[in-house]
Structures are given as structure tokens and as C-alpha cells.
């Protein structure tokens, strides 16, 4: 099932664009000064990624919150975007209530549940997407809606639509090659502890990969970014360990000084493990490259699960945790 969901990534993106274009938001009287994206897990990672992809265009600061409590700066001049695929994420519902009590401008992205009920009852701006998938596998449906929300509020232009369209064409054309290369990468990572490195502007993509390794492949991993890791973690490479693998997410648009840092970091890591892997993003522009790496990474995590002989969909421990929390007063 997970392989079918990953294979459907570009069709999900296409559907998302069609849904987003139909969004018809009411205008706000608030003078927006900042943006807070609230969400967790597969619903929350989109906020981290969008904040980096639009940083050069959006004039307002975007903060991502993955907790029960919202920052004190939130007020009537804050746009709060609540992302909950199920519509019932308890942490996001608590953040919503706090934002509502503070008079914030609220927009909701969901497939239904309590959030859909609230939005329709109170009149919040909402983009409702198709439900029924594991939240992490609905990324293609939910993530593009963040662009549309920001666009509806006049915070970004609609250039992202063409970027997503080109990304879909690229991935469809490269699909066989992506799957074949992902299998080879998974073989190198199998039986190791993965360490993911990338340039800071792509950290959200690295976090997504780490999350997918945990949920799909049932493995722990770590990530860090260039140049920050050159100021601390690089010193930690001191012991030969073939049980480690290092994955560098690269881009042809890297800042030249970071390119030099990455090459040196590869050199250092290669002294202590032979499992050093580079994945270079294809496409023009940050949006295309991010979507390409996300899709590539998803296939790797599926292949790792297959190599381990485990179910990539199952997340029983999370279900058990939610059941436990549901029993609390």
C-alpha cells in the first residue's frame, strides 16, 4: 500500500493544485504582522518546509509551532494556519483555541474532523482536502495548500504553481530512475544508523526524511545542517564505525562557501565510514528541488522497510499513545 501512495505523489500534487485554486477566502481586517503555522507530524512538517521555501519572498516572519502552547507574540495581527490532516490532532486543536481566544486571523487545512466542523461553524477560511491516507502519505495533498493560503492573504505571489507543475513533470519523467537509485541507496543504508546532512535552507526536507525513516522504516536516524554542523558535530567524527551511513542532500544552487564546507565534511566522514552517499536534487528552483528530494527520500524509506521485511504503513506505537492520551481527563 505504501508503495502505491508514494507512486501517487505527483497525482496528489496535481489534485492539491486543483483544490487550492478553488479556495475562496474572505478578506481580513487585521493588519498581519507575522505568521504561525501549527501542526505536528506529517501535517506539521509542511510548515517547516514552507517557511524555508518562501523566505526570500514572504515579508512576514513565519514561525512553526509543534506543541500544545502557542508563543506569546500571537495576537489579532497574527495569521495562524492550523494544519491537521485528520482534523482531530489534539495538540493543534489546543493551539487553535488559544489563537482564537487571542483574536488571531485563522486559516485551516484539513480533511475533516473537528477542525472542519469548527471552521464551518465559526466561518474560518478553510481548504478541505481528501482524507483516508496515513498523514505522512498525504503530504502531496496537504503541503501545497500552505502556498495557497499564503497567496490568498497576499503574502506571496502565485509563481509556486508553475514550480509545482514543473516538479510534477520532472518526477514523472525521472520516476523509473528515482526508484532504481533509491533501491541502491537503501541497500547501502540497510543495517546502519543514518546521519543526514544538508544545507540549512533544506533542513525541512532533511527533517521530513528523518521522520519517514522512523515511521516507514522503523529506524532511528539523525540530521544536521551545513554550516552549523561545522561548528560542532564535525568534531564528533573520531571513531571508525561502518555501522553508520551518511547521506548528503545536495543542490546545484548551494551557496559556494557551503559547497566547500560539504566537500570537507564528506572528506572527514569518509575517514570513519565508507557508507557516504550523495543525493543531488534535480530541477530548477527551491520548490522543484525540495519536492524531488522528498519523493526520492520517501522511496528510500519504503525500500528500507522492504529490506527489513516490515510493514511500512504500521505505526501501532503511535496509535497506542493516542489511545492512552484519549483516556486522560
Catalytic residues: 215, 231, 322
Q: What is the DSSP string of 7-72?
A: HTHHHHHHHHHHHHHT--PPP--S---EEEEE--HHHHHHHHHHHHHTTTT--S-EEEE-SSS--T
CA–CA separation, 299 and 301 (whole Å): 5
**Secondary structure class of 269 (helix, strand, coil):** helix
CA–CA separation, 329 and 326 (whole Å): 8
Alpha helices in 232-285 (DSSP H): 256-270
Quote the cell numbers at residue 41: 507530524
Contacts of residue 215, defined as CB under 8 A and 6 or more positions apart, other chains included, come to 136, 301, 315
**Secondary structure class of 224 (helix, strand, coil):** strand
Strands 193-199 and 34-38, how do they pair?
unpaired
Residues in the chain: 329
Contact 215/189 with Cβ under 8 angstroms? Answer: no
Contacts of residue 227, defined as CB under 8 A and 6 or more positions apart, other chains included, come to 200, 257, 258, 261
To which residue does cell 482536502 refer?
129
Amino acid at each position: 500500500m505504501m508503495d502505491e501512495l508514494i507512486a501517487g505523489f505527483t497525482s496528489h500534487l496535481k489534485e492539491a493544485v486543483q483544490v487550492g485554486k478553488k479556495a475562496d477566502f474572505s478578506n481580513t481586517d487585521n493588519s498581519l504582522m507575522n505568521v504561525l503555522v501549527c501542526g505536528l507530524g506529517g501535517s506539521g512538517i509542511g510548515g517547516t518546509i514552507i517557511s524555508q521555501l518562501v523566505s526570500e519572498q514572504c515579508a512576514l516572519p513565519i514561525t512553526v509551532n509543534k506543541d500544545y502552547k502557542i508563543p506569546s507574540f500571537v495576537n489579532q495581527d497574527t495569521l495562524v494556519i492550523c494544519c491537521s490532516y485528520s482534523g482531530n490532532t489534539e495538540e493543534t486543536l489546543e493551539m487553535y483555541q488559544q489563537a482564537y481566544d487571542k483574536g488571531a486571523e485563522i486559516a485551516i487545512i484539513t480533511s475533516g474532523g473537528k477542525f472542519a466542523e469548527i471552521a464551518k461553524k465559526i466561518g474560518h477560511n478553510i481548504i478541505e482536502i481528501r482524507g483516508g491516507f496515513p498523514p505522512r502519505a498525504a503530504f502531496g495533498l496537504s503541503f501545497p495548500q500552505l502556498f495557497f493560503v499564503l497567496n490568498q492573504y497576499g503574502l506571496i505571489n502565485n509563481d509556486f504553481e508553475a514550480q509545482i507543475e514543473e516538479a510534477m513533470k520532472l518526477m514523472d519523467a525521472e520516476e523509473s530512475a528515482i526508484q532504481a537509485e533509491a533501491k541502491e541507496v537503501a541497500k547501502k543504508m540497510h543495517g546502519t544508523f543514518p546521519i543526514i546532512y544538508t544545507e540549512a535552507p533544506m533542513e525541512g526536507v532533511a527533517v521530513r526524511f528523518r521522520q519517514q525513516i522512523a515511521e516507514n522504516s522503523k529506524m532511528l536516524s539523525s540530521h544536521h545542517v551545513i554550516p552549523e554542523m561545522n561548528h560542532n558535530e564535525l568534531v564528533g567524527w573520531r571513531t571508525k564505525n561502518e555501522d553508520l551511513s551518511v547521506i548528503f542532500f545536495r543542490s546545484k544552487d548551494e551557496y559556494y562557501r557551503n559547497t566547500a564546507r560539504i566537500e570537507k565534511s564528506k572528506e572527514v566522514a569518509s575517514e570513519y565510514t565508507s557508507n557516504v552517499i550523495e543525493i543531488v536534487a534535480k530541477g530548477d528552483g527551491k520548490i522543484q528541488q525540495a519536492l524531488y528530494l522528498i519523493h526520492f527520500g520517501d522511496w528510500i524509506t519504503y525500500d528500507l522497510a522492504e529490506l527489513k521485511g516490515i510493514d511500512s504503513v504500521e505505526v501501532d506505537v503511535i496509535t497506542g499513545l493516542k489511545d492512552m492520551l484519549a483516556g486522560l481527563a
